[in-house]
Chains A and B, each alone.
Chain A
């Protein structure tokens, strides 16, 4: 049976091939065969996405301190104008994001305000789903837009580290047919055993098993896996020293950012990296200049500043994007918090960024300008920003964007202008 099975699988694959279909495993196997141990040029564009799950209060993150309604609507939680780190006379950073001010001044930080989804849902679940699938209003999209980008650009499939998500599972945004890696802990990636000798033995044994007995996708994926293990051994995550003065915050976000920086510096071919940042659903006592939200923002600001510092020169190829499923109510609620709203703000950070600017049209906070009479209106469809990053930073050809955002025709005239052309 063993022999005939392999023959059948092979024959099946070839038959598909001759019908004009492209079985994924053949494509992957071909790349794996021709590109083993390739050296990845260190000038490849890299996109790092952070998802602020829980809906960040964009109005306290990037404060419209020049708008009097902001203060009248938020008597208990508004950030006092004297504490805001002013950016352009109208907007300013939350004081606990002060670590980002030098990046703004260096024109490597841009902010897109009043950005969000054309869909009006206020459900975390639905809105996150739409932001990750890239198809607001359509539930059945099987894959995420970052994965579709990877599907589209097959040229870079040759490294298992091409698309990496930090966390126990692959997030929706990277789900799909293009290979993507979920790494919960870089140091524990690979075969686990109490002693290094036992680990090496297991690794070798499984590598031989798969090299000789696996067929199809099992064969190419296992090759990728053992290459990744080998690469990581060379990189040796346990020995990583961030650049002098990079002060990563303790906690999951700091660890993820440190590991992303490490992989980028190791030139293992990272092109897309993703991490979650939780704790933004501030219904109760969210605080103003200090408090709950301030603590989350401090961690975010510190992580981004440390990451930028750590990468140093390498930031010229890197763009970091923050996103969140929606914003929060303009008016504070009865518990000194905010409820689910509509538009929020996103940060775009990195060498290729045309920074030092607030992008997007500011709709204002007047009741007449609000969405459904209560929330900050969306003036930039999040897909316009995502599409711009893919087109102008990642080099996705304009024709490919339609396939990455099905049902949407990205139009460069609507791009917020976050990336230098």
Chain B
């Protein structure tokens, strides 16, 4: 299919996606284009979306689902206008969220503070353990509690931002990049490096240029630690610290063979041995491999094991200044492999330092394979689990034109026909985060700073920042839809509707007015919670369930619970 059939045209008028036709490359196709546009115009009605439907679709995919009344507001504003505003998040007032963020004390701590607290907690725990002769430790000190509360706040904050921010597309992109450049909150120093990573590496770059984001992650202590690059050194390189260990017993002098008694050479050796053993030995390919396979060109990007090694060599010395104290990025000249390298055919001459790493990252960011790989993932997120080629091609073209401006790539995806094609509407299953946040938004619930909502997301299978492998949480529905997880979603929905989900305040009745009869309640729930997507079967089942419930309040709670836990609400 070299020339794609022209996609559906959206002839929607005001407040709807613009009339869009596929760009067909080459002048010789102008005639074809003209012909198809003409013929499609005549038969376009089956694929046309109403302003309300397109607003709902945009809110489902580019946001975490609509809040009560939001579909009408976006439809009235015009969905393309709303998308335009979402693409420039800096201009959207987000004062309400900013005020809420002040309750999250985690934002007052930088990674040095967190590292210090973590070290203290560990020290206290060690001391207690020694004192208790190794017995199981159940003591929770105030510092312990603070550390746990902050870790919980960090996870909860992600849910709260997704739920409350007016900059919805921006929050969706933060989640996307958090997974694309995944780090694991539970690995050693990443316990105190990850919050900083989200605040200072991911968030500031989420809607900027891909190249800046790539370099920022490469230099972030959290990523350097997570994928071990901080320990990657040129073979044979000896850190200054280990040199000092060898030197210290000799006080900088040559060994004195007449000294008596001679210093025990074994002891001297073993000290140095230990220092060297602790010190990293040789290159570590972990980051290099994932940089190619996951972050940039993709597994089919045409690189070899030799390329992985060369990338690792180029990035030797990219390290962290005192990682256990939450230190910053630091380039170690002594650890850098200054030899000549070749990556994907590009020469990196000898004698360079940190600069060749930057050159490498810029090169990777602009390779066609990278554009394709990352665009494909974006289309998978926004359009379909199995994204159509045309959508990816449009995104790549926009990437080329804009030098990797993420906003332009997004604009191309949402302006293309695939985004609006009926077969892609509600074709994706929500991730646990999307499900929980969209449910919270649908009932206008108000989350607090306790990590309870984040715990619900975790229960449903997506503990935030705790995906162990570097590929991040998947977008495919097969990863999320299984019997246990579905039952958990139903339970969470029922609890939320009943106001029994800890950590959120719900006034479930608020949007439903005084609807009392089963038919009225079902109609209002369909309109306010499911935005008119309720199937005939669902209407029938819920109506029947409400028949013998005399208390209208209870009936409304049950109807909302069934609607949120039912199949329609699992899709976006």
Contacts and interface: CB of A to CB of B under 8 A. Distances in A.
Interface of A: 1-2, 4-5, 8-9, 11-12, 16, 24-25, 123, 125-126, 128-129, 133, 139-142, 160, 168-170, 172, 175, 177, 179-183, 189-193, 201-202, 205-206, 208-210, 212-219, 221-222, 224-225, 228-229, 279, 282, 284-287, 291-292, 295, 335-337, 372-374
Nearest to A4: B422
Nearest to B56: A1
A372 B281 CA distance: 12
A2 B536 contact: yes
B484 A181 contact: yes
Interface stretch (B250-258, B359-367, B373-381, B467-475): B467-475
A205 B562 contact: yes
A140 B299 contact: yes
Contacts of B537: 208-209, 212-213
A25 B486 CA distance: 15
Contact of A284 (B126, B187, B494): B126
Contacts of A225: 483-484, 486-487
A217 B461 contact: no
9 contacts: A5-B425, A182-B461, A206-B490, A208-B541, A209-B562, A209-B565, A221-B482, A337-B134, A374-B277
B471 A140 contact: yes
Contacts of A192: 491, 494
Given A140-B294, A209-B538, A209-B541, A183 B481 contact: no
6 tightest Cβ-Cβ pairs between the two chains A and B: A285-B134, A212-B537, A225-B483, A214-B567, A292-B134, A224-B483
A222 B567 contact: yes
Contact of A8 (B422, B484, B491, B535): B422
A412 B528 CA distance: 62
Contacts of A170: 461
B458 A189 contact: no
Q: How large is the interface on B (under 10, 10 to 19, 20 to 34, 35 or more residues)?
A: 35 or more
Given A1-B53, A221-B486, A123 B566 contact: no
B134 A287 contact: yes
A212 B483 CA distance: 17
B106 to A, nearest CB: 23
A129 B227 CA distance: 13
B478 A217 contact: yes
Contacts of B534: 2
B486 A222 contact: yes
Contacts of B268: none
Contacts of B490: 191, 202, 206
Interface in B57-78: none
A9 B425 CA distance: 10
Contacts of B479: 175, 177
Interface string B218-247: 000000000110000000000000000000
Nearest to B273: A373
B545 interface: yes
Interface in B502-547: 533-538, 540-542, 545
B484 A183 contact: yes
Contacts of B538: 209, 212-213
